[in-house]
Structure 1
Amino acid sequence: MLRKAYAKINLGLEVVSKREDNFHNLNTIMAMIDLYDELYFQKDSEITLETNINIGDIGNNLVYKAAVLLKNTFNVNDGCRIVLTKNIPMQSGLAGGSSDAAVTLEALNDLWKLNLSIDELANLGAKLGSDVPFCLFKKPAILEGRGDVLKQFIDLPEIYVVLVIPNFSCSTKDIFSNHVTSPNDNRFLKLINAIQSKDINNIGKRMFNDLEVTVDKIFSEEPIIKIKSKLLEFGASGAVMSGSGSTVYGITNSFKNAQKIKNLMKKEFKNYHIITTKTNNF
């Protein structure tokens, strides 16, 4: 059984307040993009995980944790062999690990014939990470809570995306622990209105991420601002950081424009990984 785990981007991310459990309340809008990891699942006597990269302690990997959680929660006798091919960079704000975990829950639900609903899987997924429920639902959506509470699905026009993945990664825990919340200025509502207009230029102008300023404070030379400025200079309709970083992306209305921006960015940022892709609406 072969499955794809798609990356996500945040079109908007508002940090509302810090919670008593040390997480933060968020308003965010997420969409899947056409960049994915691949996972192969085969029934076996034990749970094993093979990967194409070094992931360190297997017990800390979200794929392995998802499989163990499902097995233990429902007293499954079978195990599974899982082969993970990583294409989504880790600690980049693209939810690669969360998407891998979501696909693992989906696939093992089928492989082990558990017949769980997507809502039941999402409740389990929230125990693994805040982005896992969205990665199960897959459709563009507005989310609240820790980013794990679905408020409503939204319709997006087809958006072409230029991903700029710097040569440094961001720890979500470190970024949030250093973040200072700022007053609400209705940016989130304005972004929702822009999305409803289906106008990519309007959407681009309204995209934002409260965590950008925190990342630029932690890393020297304000890398997020520099990447965003160049994306806009080279023709992107808008540019914003995804999640807690470090990926920054620009949007445009055609593949031709995206390729042009990508080529110019590759000359400017020779040590960064730059990819063109597009949103997936499923």
Structure 2
Amino acid sequence: MQERCHITDGIDIYLEKNIPAAAGLAGGSSDCAAALIGINELCGLGLTLGQLCDLGVTLGADVPFCLQKGTMLSEGIGEILTRLPDLSPLWVLLIKPDISVSTGYVYTHLKLDEITSHPDTEHLIDCIRRHDDATLARGLSNVLETVTIPEYPILAELKRFLSDNGAIGSLMSGSGPTTYGLYQDEILARMALKKAKEQYQDYDVLLCRTRLPE
């Protein structure tokens, strides 16, 4: 931002991490997006959202998504975004094992020519438009699981745990290792949270909820 906008002053940033690091949850990208927005406002730069996204993609593929917020169809390396209708409010139970996954390793070992099952993107977009959350959750897919889960079988166990404890769908987030379950019912979600904390005491276990962009 200093180079692009000729800022001469510096800015001290205090960062309190609430999203687990190296978890496949775009925590670093969201921090980056927040910093870009904050500097733009604090310094009165007047950069448009599009300009911030052009800058953000040079810092991380997920940054434009975090800048725009909401539900998006992401294409390319993540920089081609198409806004979709807002996702229904859903409870999300996150479980992050005490392991680290190298995103670079996952992508370099992904064998696209051997993957026979691909996400039905158009079907899932239709589910979002119709607010058919149950069908949407059942159609969740992440091709990166073909690399990460064989390396870390605990992730398959976590997916089963979430499905067995009321989740309408469960999936690995990003390149892992965080695994999440979607819940329509808050009571079921909180019951699963309690059980997950008891069963996986050394893991990060978090319950959150999807929200509409401000």
Q: Confirm or deny a common fold (TM above 0.5).
A: yes
Q: Which residue number in structure 2 is paired with residue 112 of structure 1?
A: 43
For structure 2, the residue ranges without an aligned partner over 5 or more in a row are none
Q: Does 1:207 align with 2:179?
A: no
Q: Does 1:163 align with 2:94?
A: yes
CA distance in 1 between counterparts of 2:116 and 2:79 reads 22
Q: Which residue number in structure 1 is paired with residue 150 of structure 2?
A: 217
Q: Which has the higher helix share?
A: 2
**Structure 2 counterpart SS, 1:208:** coil
2:119–2:139 contact (8 Å) kept in structure 1: no
Following TM superposition, by how much is the alpha carbon of 1:175 offset from its aligned partner in structure 2, in angstroms?
A: 1.0
Query: Where do 1:182-193 residues align within 5 Å?
Result: 182-183=115-116, 185=118, 187-193=120-126
CA distance in 2 between counterparts of 1:87 and 1:105 reads 19
CA separation of 1:135 and 1:227: change in aligned 2, threshold 3 A: same
**Structure 1 counterpart SS, 2:207:** strand
Following TM superposition, by how much is the alpha carbon of 1:187 offset from its aligned partner in structure 2, in angstroms?
A: 2.2
CA separation of 1:272 and 1:186: change in aligned 2, threshold 3 A: closer
Identity level (%): 33
Following TM superposition, by how much is the alpha carbon of 1:128 offset from its aligned partner in structure 2, in angstroms?
A: 0.2
Q: Which residue number in structure 2 is paired with residue 178 of structure 1?
A: 109
Q: Which residue number in structure 2 is paired with residue 72 of structure 1?
A: 3
Q: Deviations over 1:193-247 (max 9, x none)?
A: 222221222121111111112101223xx12211101100111100011111111
2:21–2:28 contact (8 Å) kept in structure 1: yes
CA distance in 1 between counterparts of 2:117 and 2:78 reads 17
CA distance in 1 between counterparts of 2:85 and 2:103 reads 26
- Stretch moving more, 263-272 or 178-187: 178-187
Q: Does 1:122 align with 2:53?
A: yes
CA separation of 1:251 and 1:120: change in aligned 2, threshold 3 A: same
Q: Which residue number in structure 1 is paired with residue 203 of structure 2?
A: 272
Query: Where do 1:128-147 residues align within 5 Å?
Result: 128-147=59-78
TM-score relative to the length of structure 2: 0.93
Q: Which residue number in structure 1 is paired with residue 131 of structure 2?
A: 198
TM-score relative to the length of structure 1: 0.72
Q: Which has the higher strand share?
A: 1
**Structure 1 counterpart SS, 2:51:** helix
Match of 1:231 among 162, 165, 168: 162
CA distance in 1 between counterparts of 2:54 and 2:156 reads 36
Q: Which residue number in structure 2 is paired with residue 33 of structure 1?
A: none
CA distance in 2 between counterparts of 1:175 and 1:191 reads 25
CA distance in 2 between counterparts of 1:116 and 1:185 reads 38
**Structure 1 counterpart SS, 2:160:** helix
CA distance in 2 between counterparts of 1:170 and 1:185 reads 22
For structure 1, the residue ranges without an aligned partner over 5 or more in a row are 1-69
Q: Deviations over 1:7-30 (max 9, x none)?
A: xxxxxxxxxxxxxxxxxxxxxxxx
- Stretch moving more, 266-275 or 156-165: 266-275
Root-mean-square deviation (CA, aligned residues, Å) is: 1.4
Q: Does 1:152 align with 2:83?
A: yes
Q: Which residue number in structure 2 is paired with residue 99 of structure 1?
A: 30
Q: How many residue pairs align between the two structures?
A: 211
CA separation of 1:185 and 1:132: change in aligned 2, threshold 3 A: closer
**Structure 1 counterpart SS, 2:12:** strand
